[in-house]
Each structure stands twice: as C-alpha cells, then as structure tokens.
Structure 1
Amino acid sequence: MLLTALFCAPAAATEADLRRADSWTFSFYFENDMFAGTDRNYTNGTKLTWISPDLTSYASSDRLPKWFLPYVKRLPFINEPGLKRNLAFAIGQNMYTPRDISRRELTVDDRPYSGWTYGAVAFHSKNSRRLDSMELQLGMVGPLSFAEQTQDLVHKLRGLQRPQGWDHQLDNEPGLEMIYERKLRLWQIASLSGLGADAIGHLGAALGNVAIYANSGLCLRLGWNIPVDFGTSLIRPAGDTNAPLDSRDTRLSSSARFGVHLFSTLDGRAVARDIFVDGNSFADSHRVAKEHFVADAAAGISLLLYNFKLSYAQALRTREFECQDKYHSFGSITMSFSY
C-alpha cells in the first residue's frame, strides 16, 4: 500500500494549494541548424508568445476588440462551458534556404529561398487533462518578410559568408492560416517525492495558403517536479504549451521551486500544401516536388527554477521535398517566464 501511494497516486495537493493560475506566461523560442553544423533548409526560427492568465470567458479580457467577440464565440472546440480559457499573442519568423547559399544562380533541384514573418492570436480552452487551441496567423511570405535582412545581419555578426541567392526567393504573398490542435494527457504518474512521468498526445490540422496539413504526435516526460502544463514543443502553430495550469507547478508553487526532466516529442504531418516548397499560390515562382508526409522527432532536457522554464532539444525532420538529400537536424531552445 505504501509503494502504491508513493509511485502510483497523483501528486497530492490540498484544495487551498490549487489556486487559480493568474499569471501571464512569456515564452521565447529560438531554433537554428547551427546546432547541427549546417546552414540550409529550415535554418532559423524565432517566436515570442504571451499567454494570458486564466479567464472565465474570452470577453473578460480587455485585449480583444468587442466587434471580434461574436466571431470568437462561433469557433468550434474552444467554447465548451466550465473550462478555463486563455488568450495568446505571438510574433515570429521562419527562414528557409537551399543547401548551397554561396550560389548566385537559381538551384532548380533545391528548395526556394523563403521567409515567413507573422503575428498570431490564439484561443485556449483547458482543464487538467485536455487543451484545445485555435490559432489565427496573419503574415507575409517573400521580401516583405525581411528574412533576407535577418540572415544577412546574423551572418555579418557571426563573421559568416553572406548568402548570395536571395534574389530568387518567393514573391511577396500575404499569408492567412487557421490552425486547431487538441492536446490530451494520456497517462500520468507521480510520487510524493516529486518523481514522475507523463504522456501527452496531440491531434490537429491547419488550413490556409501557407500550409494545409493534418498532424498528430506524442510528448513523453520523465523527471522530478515535472511542470503542470502540456509539455514542451518545437515551434508549431497552436503548439504553445508552457503556461502552468495551477499552483502545483513549480513556477507558481510556494514550496517546490526547482525541477528537471527529460522529454521526447514526435509529430507527424500529412501535407497537402507547403508554400515553402510548393512556391507562391498566385504567382509563377520556383518550386520543388514536396513530400506528402513529414515527421519531427526531438529529445531534450528542461530545467525549472522559480518562475523560469528553460528547455533544449535536438530535433530531426524528415525530408520535406523529393530531391532533398537527407533528413534535417536543428536545435531548439525555449525560455519561458511566468509573472
């Protein structure tokens, strides 16, 4: 009975300890293939996200215009009664280049130069077991994404060769995406000593002129004082998972202030459209034949100290287009702060 209580029961918490999480959570994501010693394909991604305190309704936030609220109420999956709600706001930029950035000529058998700079608003509906997210992204592909200038600046600061082929990047095209994802805590085990493990699955889809896909995957975690959230993910639309659920989380706790855990993630996508290999939607641009199934696998470590969560993962991505020579590897750093 003692062993069962220690290792098979959920972590004990009194009702007084389970206070409502009224903190904002800010997250900074940085992904780059320099951690794998390359400079090609998905070569850089950055994202900043702010997740609101828990809301009883989206209308209780003063950060949405009133004219927008009737449309939010019509969105599926995120308006179920009795669940906590959060608003999230994000800005980000993704960058893609061919394998040889020293060439001025068009490389016809490699992916186009392209960038995607966007803003996003997301609506989260959750309980301790489930998180539903609906995200709307609006941004720009092409020269007005300023991905060329970003890469030039970074290469100049690092003393690297300036990329020569950005004249062949995709044309300017506004991008609009609607993304839905459900995360579900499939299994959880915790002990009074803080040791624990859990498994979180996800299932989603995206629709827009930038990407059309359906995805699913899994996150596994094992460690000490695992955060009470929905895991750690790579930069992925509707994939924000860092906000703590309640004061059992180390970042909101008045007692446990440190935690560490290992994690692994897997995400697979059935891809109908990917503008970064398919080319522009309404203009004649460079394009290559895409792979219709793409998977990401990552493994890493996450540290929690007081209000901070710091995670690092090394990721592998399968081929995104048919003439790609092999899988792609990159590193992913996530820093979040609850305040």
Structure 2
Amino acid sequence: MKTLRLAAMAAVLAATGASACPAFADEKKEPVTGAFNFTIENDMVNGTDRNYTNGAALQYTDTLNRVPWSVRAAAAPFIDPSADIRVTYQLGQNLYTPQDIERKIPDPNDRPYGAWLYGAVGVLADTEDTVTSLQLSLGMVGPAALGEPVQSFVHSVIDTREPRGWDSQIKNEPALLLTFEKKWNERLLGAPYGYQIDAAPYVGGALGNVFTHVNGGMMLRFGEDLPQGDYGPPRIQPSTPGSGYFEPADDFGWYLFAGIEGRLVGRNIFLDGNTFTDSPSVDKKVMVGDFTYGIVFNVGRARVSLTQVVRTPEFSGDDDFSTFGSLGVTYAF
C-alpha cells in the first residue's frame, strides 16, 4: 500500500512538472554570459585639473570560453591551458595636461599636453586561485586622439577654465601597447562577526611605445561574503586593470578595498614625448607609486565601484602628489 502511494505521488509530480526537491530548484541561477563595464576617471573631484586629468573606457567581457582561435593561439604561451577564459573588448581615451591649462604657450618644465585613443582586445584566464590578464591595445597618440575637442567641450558644459595650450600637444603617432598581469587570490583570517578579508598580490608589465614598465602590488578587500572571481574594481591603464567581470550577487553586497602598486618605468610617451620626432617632453621619474582605496556595491547583476587614487610625482620638478577619482559601473547579463 505504501509503495502504491509513493508511485501515485511520483506520477502526479511528473504530470505537473513539479520537482521532488523544490529547494534545490530555487537555488539554480541563470548562467551569466557576459558583462559590460564603463569606467571614468577624473581629477575634478579633487579640485585639480592637471597631469592625468581624465580617462574613460567602455569594455565588453564575452561569454565564458568563447575564444576566437587566433586569440587563443596568441595567448597560449602565457596562460594556464586548464583555465576558464573570457575575451575582453575595450574602447578608451586618456587625457593629460599641465598644471596651468590657461597658458597659450605651456610651461616647458611642466608635463606636455597629450591624448591617447585606443581599442583593445584581451583575455582573462581564471583558475581557482589566479587570474591572468593579457591585452593588446592599438590606437593613436596626438591630435588624432581627439583630446582637445573632448576637453574643450566638457569644460564648456561645466563652465570651467578653457584649456588653451593643446596646439603644443604631443604629435600624432600610432600607439601600440601589450600588457600582462597575473594575480593571486588568498583568503586571509576571518574578521569578527562573519566578515572576511582577502588579499590579491599581482605582478605585471607593459611593453610598447605608449608605456613600458614592470609593476607589482597588492589589493586587500574587506566585506561580508566576498564575491569570487572579483579581483578589485576596474581601472584604466597604466593602472592595474582590476576585474571587468564578476559573479552577480543574490541580493545586496559590498566590500571595502585598499591597494598599493609600484611601477618601474622605462617609457611614458606622455612624459618622454614622441618616439620618432621632436616634441615637448620632461624628465620622467623611474619609480612611480599608486595608493588606491574605495568601496564596491553589488546589487544583483549590477556592480558599482567608487575609487580614490593618490599617485606619486611622475617627473622632475613636480613635487606634488596627484589625485583623481574613479567610477566604475558593470552589468552582467
């Protein structure tokens, strides 16, 4: 009799499409196929308008393991063959100006005007403990990078100082940059009340006529149920790129972060000037450091990051630290 009742129950469940284990069915999530990320960095939030004054980048991170054969072949020597791989596509622009942008003829001892417009393709190779980032950027430095019209338009909209020295900017030059970075994620001792702390040390480098450097640093995170696959907020080159992809949260989440990075600089076109022709330049400093801190919010499939950056002086004659803020918005779908 008991056997007949169980058989009847199974038949009803099968007919209605119900599950005998509804709790497990509710926990199943829809797969995440990709993510869009927009990052903007600007020093206006700190009341300044000099050095690295603005950067903007739009990035798309593709479906897991959907990698064109040409990209996979090019990246193969640098990544773990067992890693989960995502391809990233990016479009960005960086602007650099001297301290006094109202001078028609800029101070020759100050940083020259410069702009960089680029497109990039890269890979993110993620294992359980590491993520390797490899990216190739192609674009233009100089008037073709549209720095003058962009900054002039923005300054007219917000009714602030007019930049007048762009005629002296770095000349047009094709720009190529290859960057590599490897991060390790280590879960540290848990903090009181169920909070967590983890650390992501990293090493990397850049090679090209835009930037050439080696870098290393560490990012610390503190929060509750720290999301995996998230190695810090997205950033714009030459800073550590962070994570353009993340695993969506079930509800609301957050974490605080702080990081430090050092770069040994061999070339910076925005300080050294053009590669093949004479242009404004200054004597760069070989050692440059960044201190970064901020907060990240995760709400379902959306992530918002607020970052503050303090950068050490980058060239001789500049004794002041430069500061700028960063806003990153990511949506996973």
TM-score range normalised by the length of the shorter chain: 0.7 to 0.9
- In structure 1, what is the equivalent of residue 210 of structure 2? 210
The reply on whether 1:44 has 2:54 as its aligned counterpart is yes
**Which residue among 261, 277, 296 is the counterpart of 1:302?**
296
Cα distance, 1:19–1:85 mapped onto 2, change above 3 Å: farther
Cα distance, 1:318–1:22 mapped onto 2, change above 3 Å: same
Q: Which amino acid aligns with 2:81?
A: P
- In structure 2, what is the equivalent of residue 258 of structure 1? 252
Say if 1:29 and 1:235, in contact at 8 Å, map to a contact too: yes
**2-structure distance, mates of 1:239, 1:161:** 31
Q: Which amino acid aligns with 1:332?
A: S
Q: Which amino acid aligns with 2:55?
A: G
Say if 2:189 and 2:196, in contact at 8 Å, map to a contact too: yes
What secondary structure sits across from 2:64 in the alignment? Answer: coil
Say if 2:112 and 2:270, in contact at 8 Å, map to a contact too: yes
Cα distance, 1:20–1:268 mapped onto 2, change above 3 Å: farther
- In structure 2, what is the equivalent of residue 275 of structure 1? 269
Say if 1:52 and 1:86, in contact at 8 Å, map to a contact too: yes
**2-structure distance, mates of 1:242, 1:106:** 37
- In structure 1, what is the equivalent of residue 236 of structure 2? 235
**2-structure distance, mates of 1:303, 1:45:** 22
**Cα deviation code 1:198-242 (max 9, x no counterpart):** 111110011101111000011101112322211224323572413
**Which stretch shows the higher mean deviation, 87-96 or 126-135?**
126-135
- In structure 1, what is the equivalent of residue 310 of structure 2? 316
Q: Which amino acid aligns with 1:52?
A: D
Higher relative contact order (CA 8 A, sep 6+): 1
Q: Which amino acid aligns with 1:115?
A: A
Gaps of 5+ in 1: 1-13
**Cα deviation code 1:265-295 (max 9, x no counterpart):** 1111000000000000001001000000111
Say if 1:231 and 1:242, in contact at 8 Å, map to a contact too: no
**Cα deviation code 1:104-123 (max 9, x no counterpart):** 01311101100011000001
**1-structure distance, mates of 2:192, 2:49:** 46
Structure whose alpha-carbon radius of gyration is higher:
2
**2-structure distance, mates of 1:172, 1:325:** 29
**1-structure distance, mates of 2:120, 2:158:** 30
The reply on whether 1:27 has 2:28 as its aligned counterpart is no
Task: Please state how far the C-alpha of 1:128 moved relative to its aligned partner.
Answer: 2.2
Say if 1:225 and 1:258, in contact at 8 Å, map to a contact too: no
Q: TM-score, normalised by structure 1?
A: 0.85
**2-structure distance, mates of 1:309, 1:70:** 28
Q: TM-score, normalised by structure 2?
A: 0.86
Query: Equivalences for 1:137-156 in 2 at 5 Å?
Result: 137-156=137-156
Say if 2:116 and 2:139, in contact at 8 Å, map to a contact too: yes
